[in-house]
Structure 1
Amino acid sequence: MGLLKKDPLQVIVFQSYGTASHLYVRGRALEDESINLEGKHPIKLLINAYKRFETDEIKHTILLLKLPNGKIFETVTDNKGYFLIDLTIHGLDALTNEEGWLSFELAYKDFTSTRIIQLENRFPGEMLIPSKDISFGVASDIDDTILHTGLVSTLKWRVVYNTFLKRASKRSPLEGAAEFYHLLHRGSTGKEANPIFYVSHSPWNMYRYLEFFLTKNNFPKGPILLRDFGNFMNRKKNKEKPQKQREILNILKTYPQLNLILIGDSGEHDADIYLEIAEENPDRILAIYLRSVKHKKKMLRVKGLYENYKTIPVLLVDSSKGAMEHARENGFISETLL
């Protein structure tokens, strides 16, 4: 009978973003598989990777969200355990901290207490409402931009190794990236709270892994925006814009007064996506920073793509140092904090 014992329940709340009158919360209800992000043994790492993608979702169940002012709202998970709370509620900015983060709790409406991993059936979540003390926002890729993944490696073998056979605690950020992002976050005065949006093509199954990596390596906290693993093939079939592109366009739509700096790499599709966004929104994009990759053909293609583009600054940089120098010269970051 012990083999049939069910795992405790959990709710993973994805860090999201909204406005003073728009509550937007995404997440997933799952059985807790006790994934150890500090695990060391290769077999355990493979088991953990399997658990991330072979999830036991809690379908069609009612969840409750409680705001700091005591107001409670209901939502229902779909057939994959995902939920979305998308409501118009005024005065949310009054509930945030000085950085603009709104904290709240989620809970299962109906549950058996022995299956809840956290005391009193409480699962914390946060949503960013950018504070008024900002000059711009940053939309950044993750893979091969701040985290070495190996997307340009032959047959993607480095992607497989880094993702499945390397624990999150041992993944190293690209040199200088965390420092650069903190400088951007603090802006030209050194006292701002410019929002950082982490936008990746990775599936939501990787959320906890990436959240752990960003926190452990001292990156500024920001919404982590990933994709539904099941929609990967559908996007190609329907010829929709890439998820990363749609997310950045939605950020621009959500905050009409917010200009963005776009940061990515030259390895995959960031250069194409960012160019299209900049051409559609020439007055909203302040700069594009693309980290160079060790792939001659890809670098030549990206250089050709931007060869005649002069509307906004575009830098292909080998390290964060070059981007920092440009950001300082253009008043994006403080000179005194360098």
Structure 2
Amino acid sequence: MQWRKRFRDYLISLRRGLRVLAAPVKGDNGRGGLFIHPYLGYGSRDRVFLMGRVFHQPGFGSSMQEDRLKRDLVDLLRRLWRKPIVGARVRVRYKDTTTVVETDRHGFFRVDMTLGTMPSDVTWHSVELSLDKPVDERATTTGEFFTPTHAATYGVISDIDDTVVYTGVANTAKMLWRLFALGSDSRVIFPGVPELYQGFYQGRSGEDGNPLVYVSRAPWSIYQVLVAMFQLHRIPNGPILILREWGMKRGSLLPRRARDHKLDAIRHVLDLYDSMSFVLVGDSGQHDPETYTRILSENPGRILAIYIRDVSHDPERSEAIVNLAREAGVDCEVISTTDSADMAEHAAKQGLILEQALEAVRRV
């Protein structure tokens, strides 16, 4: 009987994973053709930034709408066979503001638009996207972007890999297996992360609605998996910036380093929210401490705290990380630890999160 239960759980997990992977192509109901896939964006009172992709996907299997398993299998095949559209012109409209952007050689586009009419004081807004070239009225879709309300008191920029999730985020199959098959024993999310990030989102009053922006070195193909993972574990929703395509359209024949892309991404967020202070969260395994210290020196007084998840298990590296801010001559604490509770305790002492949030992290 035990093997039957495991087999049944395995099949359920496969179907859940299949549905997540097939999700990006479901908007056309099997008809095929051109498709715009926007990713979550972020904005301020006068600007909005978002990315997306335009591709052509084959149309077949539309008669299988009633059979969810077959429909998901067909949609997964259509996703594998879709082709990016190079040089497509995407029209982006928010209220009375319109701009047109062009896709790169991988079909990706980037929108950085100055707004004529300010967004209302809510967190999520809709933006309309359509194709000017090639013209296809059926490709029209809606994107979303986040803006902090008047209640927000600070923002959070967090790495994902080895900071929110354990190593292996770039391995789609491994991530899906951990996410859906292993349940609470999956070791996908570091303990205490959902509670800590909810504390950041709720902020000093419990109702701040502080913006959280996530950055990752994973490929765009795993974007939907990350979104599903955040929803499953109740991590606050926010734009996920994939660094692999952050340096696109730079006209350089040589690829830029991922840490340069991260610097660009963080600088862009800080520029967009130029009157807001930030908390930075990363890990010790790559270059987050050095990158964050550089951001700290470029933005004196704006970085409230830097939290580094210590995954290197190297005492010398840990000590060097703690000394970084001191060496930079900037008054900001760098907390290096393996435990989310240590981050939460410091954040509570600094008045960044409530005591209730700290207790929630401790209970994990």
Give the TM bin, normalised by the shorter chain: 0.7 to 0.9
Q: CA deviation at 1:309?
A: 3.8
1:190 is paired with a residue of what secondary structure?
A: coil
The residue that corresponds to 2:117 in the other structure is 91
- The question of 1:319 aligning with 2:339 is answered yes
Percent identity at matched positions? 28
Answer whether contact 1:25 1:84 (CA < 8 A) is retained.
yes
Q: Of residues 184, 187, 206 in structure 2, which corresponds to 1:190?
A: 206
By percentage of residues, which structure has more helix?
2
Q: What is the TM-score of this pair, normalised by structure 2?
A: 0.71
One-letter identity of the residue aligned with 2:340: S
Q: Structure 1's 174 and 31: CA in aligned 2 closer, same or farther, altered over 3 A? A: farther
* 2:89 equivalent to 1:56: no
CA contact (8 A) 1:204 1:227 kept: no
Partner of 1:148: 166
Unaligned runs of 5+ in 1: 35-39, 151-158
Matched positions, count: 302
Q: Is the 8 A contact 1:76 1:83 kept in 2?
A: yes
Query: In 2, Cα distance between the equivalents of 1:132 and 1:187?
Result: 13
Q: Deviations over 1:39-73 (max 9, x none)?
A: x9xxx9xxx79x67x86102222333343x47654
Higher RCO, 1 or 2 (CA under 8 Å, sep at least 6)? 1
**For 1:225, what is the secondary structure of its paired residue?**
strand
Q: Distance in 2 between matches of 1:303 and 1:333?
A: 26
Deviation at 1:235, TM superposition (A): 9.5
Q: How does 1:1-338 map to 2 (within 5 A)?
A: 7-32=32-57, 56-67=83-94, 69=95, 73-94=99-120, 98-99=122-123, 101-109=124-132, 121-150=139-168, 162-167=171-176, 169-170=179-180, 172-229=188-245, 242-293=260-311, 295-297=312-314, 299-307=315-323, 309-310=325-326, 311-337=331-357, 338=359
Coordinate RMSD, CA, aligned: 3.4
| Contact 1:288–1:314 (8 Å) recurs in 2 | yes
Unaligned runs of 5+ in 2: 1-29, 60-68, 181-185, 360-364
Instruction: Provide, for residues 6-37 of structure 1, a one-character-per-residue CA deviation record: whole Å limited to 9, x for no partner.
Output: 94432221222222222333211123589xxx
Aligned to 1:261, the other structure's residue is in SS state strand
Q: Distance in 1 between matches of 2:279 and 2:192?
A: 17
- Secondary structure in 1 aligned to 2:235? coil
Superposed CA deviations along residues 57-96 of structure 1, whole A, max 9, x for unmatched, are 02222333343x47654433233211223332222323xx
Contact 2:247-2:261 within 8 A present in 1 as well: no
- Larger mean Cα displacement after TM superposition, 312-321 or 323-332: 312-321
Partners of 2:254 and 2:150 in 1: how far apart? 39
